Amino acid sequence: MTPRARRSPRRTEALSRERIVEAAVELLDTAGESGLTFRALTERLSTGAGAIYWHVANKGELLAAATDAVVAEAVSADVSSPRSAGSPRDGVRAVALGLYDAIEAHPWLATQLALQLSRSPGGPVAPRIFEGIGRQVGALGVSEDGWFTATSVLVHYILGAAGQNAVNTESGRALGPGVDRARFLDDVSAQWEQLDPDAYPFTRPVAHRMRGHDDREQFLAGIDLVLAGMAAR
Amino acid sequence: MTPRARRSPRRTEALSRERIVEAAVELLDTAGESGLTFRALTERLSTGAGAIYWHVANKGELLAAATDAVVAEAVSADVSSPRSAGSPRDGVRAVALGLYDAIEAHPWLATQLALQLSRSPGGPVAPRIFEGIGRQVGALGVSEDGWFTATSVLVHYILGAAGQNAVNTESGRALGPGVDRARFLDDVSAQWEQLDPDAYPFTRPVAHRMRGHDDREQFLAGIDLVLAGMAAR
DNA sequence: ACCTGAACACCGTTCAAGT
DNA sequence: ACCTGAACACCGTTCAAGT
């Protein structure tokens, strides 16, 4: 927590895939998506480019590994949290908020998640999230058919909504999470309010709903809607 | 439909933003995301790089414009289609399938949509889709509160599910849409079936649901689930 | 087996110069 | 106002050479 903890990487440690992925996450967090370059990475790890390619096939694989590492932590963290000890519905909420928070903490995650899922759904990220959500949904006791559909809808909604609400500053978040976020949503709201009323008769009147606060509450309302649909089958 | 229709761009026409965007879409369709470079674009339009920069700020803006152009067509196309003349539920289905098909026809669209929405939600793409879906949802007659939430869930689900099911071959789709797609889903299914049973007790048993066919039906089942939740409020 | 780092191919963007 | 195209800065990746 000290301002300048760990400056130069300890050169004594040997290079490994884990250390490379760890450095990549740190670089993404501090310098944004455009900050992750092999040159920046070699400097941070005080090594050569070829050394990284010995452990990692290419940049795409590195980004996939970084995404998976962060998602794995986010999904597993809340599974047995005290909050999920409540109703099954609370369990779904807990995992959803875990992913929501992870995207808020790592702005690059929204984009990478979307890239990962659309470009290589066969990768490790999709089943990990699916399992995290599905585990909670399973506790609600429905048929396999309803379970699969509900979990699919929840996963896509969570990733999409959290991604769209994430402040993506490209150079890491600037101030505290609350401050930035409120201004960001205000901006989007203002832009939606300036839409042509004739072309956007439905969207314009609800633009104010994005204003300022309670995007978490709105996010959870969507989850409740899906759960209600599941119960109604 | 002839194999070699329009080879060299007619140099007589003046350059314009529309022609550039049109060429970008064609390039994305035929050569994939990595095929869209300013060099390929200048060659296709038989012009210089600076000429493009006169009409378009940078590559990001060009990709946003290409995405918006395709989405605008997809969303508007089905709004007054004969199929949406049925129940309001059919209207939602029609717009959803319109976007689904657009992503299938333009594999790069899934990625770009995700990038656009997560990186610049203030852009034109988000409200356009929101309006397209919301218009249909509005016909179902619910309170503004329920309307906003349901539309949000639907939009994210549609984009996420369609994106994940899209075959992304990076160099354009290879064969007919049906053939490729079935094999693609089979592959993903096979990979999910090889997951560790202990770590994935919920996901592995439903892997077979991705096999081969009827992903459209599964897609629509998710939409019905949301609509059921809306009615149950 | 693991690492070095110069070299290569390629890309987005700029800008002095033209019409 | 609109276009040309060479030049620049930067990037991912390779590979002969080292230990």
Task: Check residue A178 and give its pLDDT.
Answer: 63
Span CA (B171) to C1' (C11), Å: 18
Task: Check residue A5 and give its pLDDT.
Answer: 34
Question: How far, in whole angstroms, is CA B153 from its chain's centroid?
Answer: 16
- Dist. CA B67–CA B75, nearest whole Å: 12
- Dist. CA B154–CA B96, nearest whole Å: 9
| Closest CB to A206 among B148, B191, B229 | B148
Share of chain A above pLDDT 70, in %: 85
Helix or strand holding residue B152 (H, E): helix B144-165
Residue B232: what are its φ and ψ, rounded to 5°? -80, -10
Residue pLDDT, tens place only, B101-152: 999 899 899 999 988 888 887 889 999 999 999 999 998 888 888 899 999 9
For the full predicted model, state whether its pTM sits above 0.85.
Answer: yes
DSSP B208-231: GGGSSS-HHHHHHHHHHHHHHHHH
Task: Check residue A232 and give its pLDDT.
Answer: 81
A142-to-A45, B33, B221 alpha-carbon distances in Å? 50, 41, 15
Q: Are A62 and A27 in contact (CB under 8 A)?
A: no
Residues 105-144 of B with CB under 8 A from A: 110-111, 114-115, 117-119, 121-122, 126-127, 130-131, 134-135, 138, 144
Q: Are A110 and A168 in contact (CB under 8 A)?
A: yes
CB contact under 8 A, A218 and B150: no
Residues 167-206 of B with CB under 8 A from A: 168, 187-188, 191-192, 195, 199-203, 205-206
CB within 8 Å of A148: residues ≥ 6 apart: B206, B209, B218
- Dist. CA B140–CA B143, nearest whole Å: 10
- Structure tokens that stand for B94 in this block: 């029609």
Handedness of CA B105, B106, B112, B117 (dihedral sign): negative
Nucleotides of strand D under 7 angstroms from a protein beta carbon:
2-7, 10-17
Domains identified in chain B and CATH numbers: 1-56 (1.10.10.60), 79-232 (1.10.357.10)
CB contact under 8 A, B152 and A218: yes
Under DSSP, the state recorded for B15 is P
Helix/strand/coil for A12: coil
Helix/strand/coil for B204: helix
Question: How far, in whole angstroms, is CA B170 from its chain's centroid?
Answer: 15
Which of A71, A116, A153 is best to mutate for the B interface (most B CBs within 10 A)? A153
Which of B187, B225, B227 is best to mutate for the A interface (most A CBs within 10 A)? B225
Task: Check residue B121 and give its pLDDT.
Answer: 78
- Structure tokens that stand for B202 in this block: 């919920």
pLDDT band at A127 (very low <50, low <70, confident <90, very high): very high
The pLDDT of residue B169 is above 70: no
Under DSSP, the state recorded for B85 is G
CB contact under 8 A, A228 and B225: no
Q: Are B165 and B215 in contact (CB under 8 A)?
A: yes
pLDDT band at A187 (very low <50, low <70, confident <90, very high): confident
A18 touches strand C (CB under 7 A): no
The pLDDT of residue B3 is above 50: no
